[in-house]
Amino acid sequence: MTSTLTSPLTLPASLTAARRVDPTAEGWGFDTHHAVATPAGDTYVVSGAGRYRWDAAAATDPAEHNFRCQLITRHGPDGRPVAVALYGQPRPDGTPSAIEEGTEPTLAVLPDGTVALSSKPGTTHLLSADLSRVLASWRMPWGWEEEKDRNGDPYAASITVTPSGRLLCVTSEYGLSNVAGAHPNIVALSEPGEPLTPGSRATLRALATHDARTDRQTDADLYAHVRFGGAPVGRDHRPSPSLTEIVSRDSRRASEYHDCTLGRPAALGDDLFVVPVFGRLHRSGNRGQVFTFALLDDRGAVRGRLEGLHRYDDSPFTGFCFTVVGDPYRARAFHLNRFGLYAWSADGRLRSRMSTEDKPYKALTHFTLLEATPAGELLLAHRKQHLLLRVPVPEDLDGLAAAVEAALKSYARGRTAWKKEYAPVNWHWVDGSARVHHL
């Protein structure tokens, strides 16, 4: 009997066969980007796979060529894959995919069961729950020509669903500061009862601006669905002061947050959110760089921050661990980086810290935190062994350390059970049972 806390992050057998994938070869890669669970216990996982070899262009067999694709896998409550959507590469008949490969893709399950796939700078696709169909698409193309033409019709770079069905989003803007391209810049929220469906695009009310340096913006940079004070966000018409200005007030030097970046917000409820802000990345020596996990309410007011982290000893910059997840049903926030796993209550108090220097938690350094589930679990992915681990979080966060220790111990047992079933090669789990849809 396999463990329900552990499940394999699988590759479709049809893909590995068609592309003649050798999981042990140089140039092959498989990465998990994000996961989200439904109240019924199903889990959707978005991943990327690809191969690059410098001599591949000389191959006479197309199956030996370089390729990249992304896939969404639906797992049942028992952890087994039941459906896969492949996209970002031509379909078997040679026609182009309906969905282009996205940057930093994330998932959300909408109240009607529809799956929303979002990626930077601001593209959103709606998929049927069984992953067989693309229901709607709002694209934000990127590139020099696209920036000049502005022929996109974007929605959001990221969507998170609150318990009442509101959409917590990040949207991108052109014309920021002196940088080219569109960048995530607005934290926005839909109003109660406004759905995102193929025929109805929910209006988003801007709560916060990350960077207010918008002197270069024109009317072409305004989008009707992102509004503030009843009008589209653009130029000086936006929430003020900016998040950059707010977090800089508590910094030793205001310049420390110059050209900082906006992380993906997490919901702690219907009206309270965590908005991560990270200092500028340098080519080396980022540990100790500034960061803030700000608490923002549904009116756009900053209500504090997640406390208790040391900018060097608990730095998220080592390994680039920039994910903060929220459990909006229980008003909690979580963060995992190379130095520990952390949990907060909605008032910003650090309630639990598990150091990876302590033996029971050393294994956490191999995992990436993906999301929190409606059932109150944390979803963690092992970066090398490609297994998903569910960590049940107790009602009392004082018991979280013991729960994490127990889940890590169960991981080895679950891994052994799945190995007997799948016989993975180089920790790649190839599955031929799930139905594959080429979108």
Which residues, 6+ apart, have CB-to-CB distance to 357 below 8 Å?
Answer: 339
Question: Are 427 and 32 spatial neighbours (Cβ–Cβ below 8 Å)?
Answer: no
Question: Are 9 and 427 spatial neighbours (Cβ–Cβ below 8 Å)?
Answer: no
Place of tokens 């990465």: 31
Residue 282 burial class via C-beta count within 10 angstroms: exposed 0-12, middle 13-18, buried 19 and up: exposed
Which residues, 6+ apart, have CB-to-CB distance to 216 below 8 Å?
Answer: 175, 176, 178
| Model confidence pLDDT, tens digit, residues 354-384 | 999 999 999 999 999 999 999 999 999 999 9
Read off the pLDDT of each residue in 33-40 and give the average, rounded to a whole number: 96
Place of tokens 């396999």: 2
Question: Are 272 and 303 spatial neighbours (Cβ–Cβ below 8 Å)?
Answer: yes
DSSP line for 212-273: ---TT--GGG--TTEEETTEE-BTTBS-SS-HHHHHHTTSSSGGGGTT-EE---EESSSSEE
Residue 429 has pLDDT above 90, yes or no: yes
Mean pLDDT of the chain: 92
DSSP line for 186-219: EEEEEPTT---BTTB---EEEEEES----TT--G
Q: Which of 175-184, 200-209, 392-401 shows the lowest mean pLDDT across its residues?
A: 175-184
The pTM (predicted TM-score) of the whole model is 0.94
Question: Are 406 and 5 spatial neighbours (Cβ–Cβ below 8 Å)?
Answer: no
- Label the pairing between strands 377-382 and 123-127: unpaired
| Model confidence pLDDT, tens digit, residues 174-190 | 888 877 788 899 999 99
